[in-house]
Amino acid sequence: MSTTRYSQVAKVRYDASSNEVYIADGYGNRRVAVVDADTGELKRFWGAYGNEPNDDELPRYDLANAPAHGTVSTDMSGDPQFRQPVHCADPTNDGLVYPV
Q: Does a structural domain hold residue 84?
A: yes
pLDDT given at position 40:
93
User: Which pLDDT does position 71 carry in this prediction?
Assistant: 46
Q: Which of 80, 77, 85, 86 is nearest to 68 (CA)?
A: 80
User: What domain count does the chain have?
Assistant: 1
In a domain, 31, yes or no: yes
Residues paired with 21 in a beta bridge: 14, 35
Residue 35 is assigned to a structural domain of this protein:
yes
In a domain, 95, yes or no: no
d(CA 2, CA 18): 24
Average pLDDT, integer, range 18-31 = 86
The answer to whether residue 82 sits within a structural domain is yes
Q: Is residue 30 part of a domain?
A: yes
What's the pTM value of the predicted model, to 2 decimals?
0.61
Has residue 69 been placed in a domain? yes
Domain of 28 in residue numbering reads as: 1-53+65-89
Q: Determine the Cα–Cα distance for residues 59 and 19; give it in Å rounded to an integer.
A: 34
For residue 94, being part of any structural domain is answered with no
